[in-house]
């Protein structure tokens, strides 16, 4: 959730770190800070403040923060309010640290180490810093101090550490929360995600759990927690720096919605061979798809919504029973899982702690695990037996758009593959299915070209306090996601309901101030849904309809707005309706003058339970 950036080399660290922190701001952003080692004074100078990185930049300009080695942080408050004191870095004795994650036993540690009266903040991080300082004073050996301190911590962490008397070196250690590092022409750096590093390097290494990373100006060394050296392995960054810029769009969200045709192609094409689904690209053999009788899909938020689409499709095409369970529930439930169960986890970031914990639990219970992940080398990918990487490229806007669409696309490939290997679909039927799937990028393109028309729907909801969304079948899954999107970026309360359910209570809330959006794309359910539209219309609702082209709708002018989606077979309509719903959310937030890419209270990567 928070962002970490560190640099040591021959350039002014302040500028490099602040630039990296700006790139990481989307992860969490209620305060920011930097600590730079100054060789003349032989100490680390700290500058931190609440608010955006630009506040930090202004403050840092006025201070003497010269030096070529330093660490920085953007904070999303967990322990302790949003104050300058609680921002990172924290310093205790000769040690300065930044921290992502949560140290659950920090209160016990504060009392055990007798430092309660010396603390300047309310954070778990300052306590952790004191523990590092205690062991550094005791052993004057950074590796031993890290080892000893880490043994005291209960919780999750990614720490970057600099010691006052070890100039030019940055240490890092992690459990769950990610750290990546890279060499550049003028030094070395580390960060909590690739977005910051990709500004400077094309290759990176991932710090493993309970490994220690040591950055010097010209080298990166890796050790296990006891200080034994490990081999460093670098991976290529598979997207260019341009991919993480707005490319002329006012917001990343609009850019990312518009990138969906490309993202879909990039995800689908490597996995289609001779017109059929093929997972050799992911090194998954065909036998794997016959090795289970039941599937569990687990994820959070938007990623879970893609899983719900996957459930419907897999059960329909491949007749394999699928259960879906939100990861934070899955980990405390008692799911019936064994070696004939496949647990599919879905995650854009690959770092969501609930999803990661669910994968670990599934493995412990003996299940096979498959991750559908966007970011390479991340914790969920590493914890899974197999990974299907969605090739959406970096997603910067907090609200997920293109990552969702490609997750859905992977489920289409999986469903077709399962149906094929289990003999429930002929090769010919499968080829037809895949051909339609391959036509989705151009169907989506039509909606993107039509965005001004979709924008008109937003103008009807911009003043609303509550919005309801109704759908049946696949449309219900689409509006679950559309409704979440609207809530998170526009702050308008929105509720998605199976259209038939509205009469069983919620219709009491419908009045002439309530916009109701109906997604009507499933031919066999259309008549029933149109009846539901009439029910809410007769209670005064502002009725807005997203409808598959070709479905008959009498007296179209009676509705407040009807937007026609390009026609495709019913089971493929999810793609275009999703894009229309994403635009509705986006334009509503835009018209309300909100910071669309960084909705309040939200962070892109959720690494706390």
- Contacts with ligand F6R by CB under 6 A lie at 300-303, 347-349, 352, 355, 399-400, 484, 488, 606
Q: Considering beta carbons, is residue 252 or 289 the nearer one to ligand F6R?
A: 252
Give the distance from CA 201 to its chain's centroid: 22
Start-to-end CA span in the chain (Å): 11
Strand order in the sheet with 69-75: 43-50, 31-38, 69-75, 3-9, 187-191, 180-184, 203-206, 235-236
Give the separation between CA 432 and CA 419, rounded to whole angstroms: 13
Task: Work out whether strand 31-38 and strand 69-75 pair parallel, antiparallel, or are unpaired.
Answer: antiparallel
Q: Which is nearer to ligand F6R, 173 or 303 (CB)?
A: 303
CA distance 236 to 239: 9
Nearer to ligand F6R, 36 or 353 (CB): 353
Residues facing 361 on adjacent strands = none
The distance of closest approach from Cβ of residue 278 to ligand F6R in the complex, given in angstroms and rounded to an integer, is 25
Shortest distance, position 76 Cβ to ligand F6R, whole Å: 13
Q: Which residue has the tokens 């050790």?
A: 223
| Catalytic residue check, 300 | no
Q: Which is nearer to ligand F6R, 68 or 328 (CB)?
A: 328
How far apart are CB 441 and ligand F6R at their closest, in Å?
Answer: 21
Judged by CB, which is closer to ligand F6R: 532, or 607? 607
Q: What is the rounded CA–CA span in Å between residue 489 and residue 528?
A: 31
Q: In whole angstroms, give the CA distance from residue 213 to residue 418.
A: 42
CA distances from 29 to 52, 262, 296, 397, 436 (A): 6, 30, 34, 13, 42
Cα distance between residue 271 and residue 277, in whole Å: 6
Name which of 260 and 348 has its Cβ closer to ligand F6R. 348
What is the edge-to-edge ordering of all strands in the sheet holding 95-103?
Answer: 90-92, 95-103, 155-163, 170-175, 211-216, 219-224, 229-230
**Looking at beta carbons only, is 521 or 607 nearer to ligand F6R?**
607
Instruction: Label the pairing between strands 272-273 and 211-216.
Output: unpaired
Pairing of strands 229-230, 235-236: unpaired
Rounded Cα distance between 245 and 374, Å, is 18
State which residue, 308 or 355, has the beta carbon closest to ligand F6R: 355
**Angle between the 301-318 and 402-421 helix axes, to the nearest 10 degrees?**
20
Catalytic residue among 48, 169, 402, 604: 604
Closest approach of Cβ 256 to ligand F6R, in Å? 11
DSSP states of 319-336: ---EEEEEHHHHTTS---
Which residue among the candidates 2, 69, 300, 430 is catalytic per the annotation?
Answer: 2
CB of 232 to ligand F6R, least distance (A): 26
Q: What is the CA radius of gyration of the chain?
A: 25
- Spatial CA neighbour of 214 closest among 229, 202, 203: 229
Question: What's the full length of the chain, in residues?
Answer: 609
Cα dist from 594 to 251, 254, 489, 547, 599, whole Å: 11, 14, 8, 28, 8
Minimum distance between the CB of residue 307 and ligand F6R, rounded to whole angstroms?
10
Tell me the closest approach of the beta carbon of residue 488 to ligand F6R, in angstroms: 6
Residue closer to ligand F6R, measured from CB, 126 or 325? 325
What angle do helix axes 573-591 and 402-421 make, rounded to 10 degrees? 170
Strand partners, 25: none
C-alpha of 433 from chain center: 29
- Active site annotation includes 48: no
With contact defined as beta carbons under 8 Å apart, do 579 and 447 qualify? yes
In contact, 156 and 102? CB cutoff 8 Å: yes
Query: Can you read off the two tokens belonging to residue 429?
Result: 């039927």
The CB-nearest residue to ligand F6R is 301
Q: Which is nearer to ligand F6R, 320 or 399 (CB)?
A: 399
* Closest CB 400 distance from ligand F6R, rounded Å: 3
E strands along 502-567, which residues? Answer: 515-520, 542-548, 561-565
- Nearest approach, Cβ of residue 587 and ligand F6R (Å): 16
Min dist CB 406 to ligand F6R, Å, is: 11
Q: Which residues are catalytic?
A: 2, 604
């Amino acid at each position: 959730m928070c962002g970490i950036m560190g640099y040591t080399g021959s350039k002014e660290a302040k500028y490099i770190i602040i630039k990296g922190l700006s790139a990481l701001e989307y992860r969490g952003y209620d305060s920011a800070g930097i600590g730079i080692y100054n060789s003349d004074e032989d100490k680390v100078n700290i500058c931190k403040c609440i608010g955006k990185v630009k506040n930090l930049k202004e403050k840092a300009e006025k201070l003497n923060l010269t030096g070529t080695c330093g660490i920085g942080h953007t904070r999303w408050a967990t322990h302790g309010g949003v104050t300058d004191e609680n921002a990172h870095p924290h310093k205790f004795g000769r040690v300065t640290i930044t921290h992502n994650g949560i140290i659950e036993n920090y209160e016990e540690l504060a009392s055990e180490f007798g430092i309660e009266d010396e603390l300047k903040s309310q954070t778990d991080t300052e306590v952790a810093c004191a523990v590092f300082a205690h062991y550094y004073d005791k052993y004057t050996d950074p590796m031993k101090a890290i080892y000893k301190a880490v043994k005291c911590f209960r919780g999750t962490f990614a720490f970057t550490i600099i010691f006052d008397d070890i100039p030019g070196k940055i240490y890092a250690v992690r459990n769950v929360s990610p750290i990546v590092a890279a060499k550049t022409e003028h030094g070395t750096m580390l960060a909590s995600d690739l977005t910051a590093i990709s500004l400077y390097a094309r290759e990176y290494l991932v710090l493993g759990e309970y490994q220690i990373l040591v950055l010097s100006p010209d080298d990166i060394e890796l050790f296990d927690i006891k200080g034994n050296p490990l081999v460093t392995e670098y991976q290529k960054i598979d997207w260019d720096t341009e991919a993480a810029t707005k490319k002329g769009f006012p917001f990343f969200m609009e850019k990312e919605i518009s990138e969906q045709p490309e993202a879909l192609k990039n995800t689908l094409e490597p996995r289609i061979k001779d017109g059929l689904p093929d997972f050799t690209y992911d090194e998954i053999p065909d036998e794997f798809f016959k090795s289970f009788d039941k599937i569990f899909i687990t994820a959070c938020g938007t990623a879970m919504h893609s899983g719900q689409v996957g459930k419907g499709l897999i059960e329909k095409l491949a007749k394999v029973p699928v259960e879906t369970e939100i990861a934070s529930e899955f980990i405390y439930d008692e799911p019936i899982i064994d070696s004939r169960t496949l647990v599919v986890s879905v995650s854009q970031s690959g770092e969501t702690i609930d999803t990661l914990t669910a994968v670990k639990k599934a493995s412990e219970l003996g299940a096979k695990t498959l991750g559908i992940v966007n970011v390479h080398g991340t914790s969920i990918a590493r914890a899974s037996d197999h990974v299907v990487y969605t090739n959406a490229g970096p997603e910067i806007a907090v609200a997920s758009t293109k990552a969702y669409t490609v997750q859905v696309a992977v489920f289409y490939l999986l469903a077709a593959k399962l149906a094929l290997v289990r003999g429930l679909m002929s090769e010919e039927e499968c080829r037809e299915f895949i051909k339609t799937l391959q036509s989705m990028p151009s169907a989506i393109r039509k909606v993107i070209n039509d965005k001004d028309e979709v924008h008109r729907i937003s103008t009807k909801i911009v003043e609303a306090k509550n919005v309801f969304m109704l759908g049946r079948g696949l449309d219900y899954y689409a509006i679950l996601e559309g409704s979440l999107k609207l809530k998170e970026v526009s702050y308008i309360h929105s509720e998605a309901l199976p259209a038939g359910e509205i009469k069983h209570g919620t219709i009491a809330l419908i009045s002439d101030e309530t916009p109701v959006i109906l997604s009507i794309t499933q031919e066999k359910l259309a008549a029933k849904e149109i009846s539901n539209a009439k029910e809410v219309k007769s209670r005064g609702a502002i009725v807005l309809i997203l409808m598959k082209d070709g479905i008959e709708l009498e007296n179209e002018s009676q509705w407040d707005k009807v937007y026609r989606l390009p026609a495709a077979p019913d089971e493929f309509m999810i793609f275009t309706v999703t894009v229309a719903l994403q635009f509705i959310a986006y334009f509503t937030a835009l018209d309300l003058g909100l910071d669309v890419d960084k909705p309040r209270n939200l962070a892109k990567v959720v690494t706390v339970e």
